Amino acid sequence: EAGVAQSPRYKIIEKRQSVAFWCNPISGHATLYWYQQILGQGPKLLIQFQNNGVVDDSQLPKDRFSAERLKGVDSTLKIQPAKLEDSAVYLCASSADPYYGYTFGSGTRLTVV
Amino acid sequence: QKEVEQNSGPLSVPEGAIASLNCTYSDRGSQSFFWYRQYSGKSPELIMFIYSNGDKEDGRFTAQLNKASQYVSLLIRDSQPSDSATYLCAFGSSNTGKLIFGQGTTLQVKP
């Protein structure tokens, strides 16, 4: 079974620029998550999708972050404009049933300078 | 009160010893509990999950759950240097099923 694919692996941008991350979940997984992990901290959920719909985006900074999941498969997460404090690893995960946990992709390490 | 609390460590144990990692959580309605391992620069990988009170063993790993005390632990027997990593505790939210993670405990196994 292919894993969760993410790109790019690394991204360096200047503050106030925009950036987008892409995620392709495991085939057949209805639930997709975007997490933010700041160095030294645990992952924090930004947004949870169930198929096309948003289940939870309560911790997504909506003034600068946006996310979509097209046709219930691939997803993109965008930051516009970026701030220094957005420097983190952005992890995508997917699950067939969250009760059994989920699988993470390799992540995108974002550095905002 | 944090939703998930873990001692950030580092926890240092000699090779061959038992490593004990602890976690408390706030959501009394949660039904699912997980331990993820994260090597430096890598993404978290699921190593154990537990749903019922008591112990669950998988190889050198044992997860322990006490819902009344809202406490979950992970024991690693015969610790190896390759076990050196950050261990993340997580529970499934009773509302949405999302996983809520602790900050992680860094384990160092010294040869």
pLDDT of B24-42, one tens digit each? 998 888 889 999 999 999 9
Looking at mean pLDDT, say which of B2-6, B68-72, B82-86 comes out highest: B82-86
pLDDT in tens, chain A (113 residues): 679 999 999 999 999 999 999 999 999 999 999 999 999 999 999 999 998 899 999 999 999 999 999 888 999 999 999 999 999 999 999 998 888 889 999 999 999 99
Nearest to A104 among B44, B49, B96 (CB): B44
As a whole number, the mean pLDDT across chain B is 93
Outline where DSSP puts E strands in B3-104. Answer: 4-6, 11-14, 19-25, 33-38, 45-50, 54-58, 61-66, 71-76, 85-92, 99-101
* Contact list, B100 vs chain A (CB under 8 Å): 45
- What is the reported pLDDT for B96? 76
Residue A51 CA: distances (Å) to CA of A13, A55, B24, B72, B109: 31, 10, 32, 31, 42
State how far the Cα of B82 lies from the Cα of B80, in Å rounded to an integer: 5
Nearest to B92 among A99, A103, A104 (CB): A99
**Beta carbons of B98 and A98 less than 8 Å apart:** yes
For an interface test with B, which of A1, A45, A49, A92 has the most B Cβ atoms less than 10 Å from its Cβ? A45
Mean pLDDT of all residues in B17-24: 96
As a whole number, the mean pLDDT across chain A is 95
Q: Is A29 on the interface with B (CB under 8 A)?
A: no
- What is the reported pLDDT for B1? 64
Q: Is A102 on the interface with B (CB under 8 A)?
A: yes
* Contact list, A29 vs chain B (CB under 8 Å): none
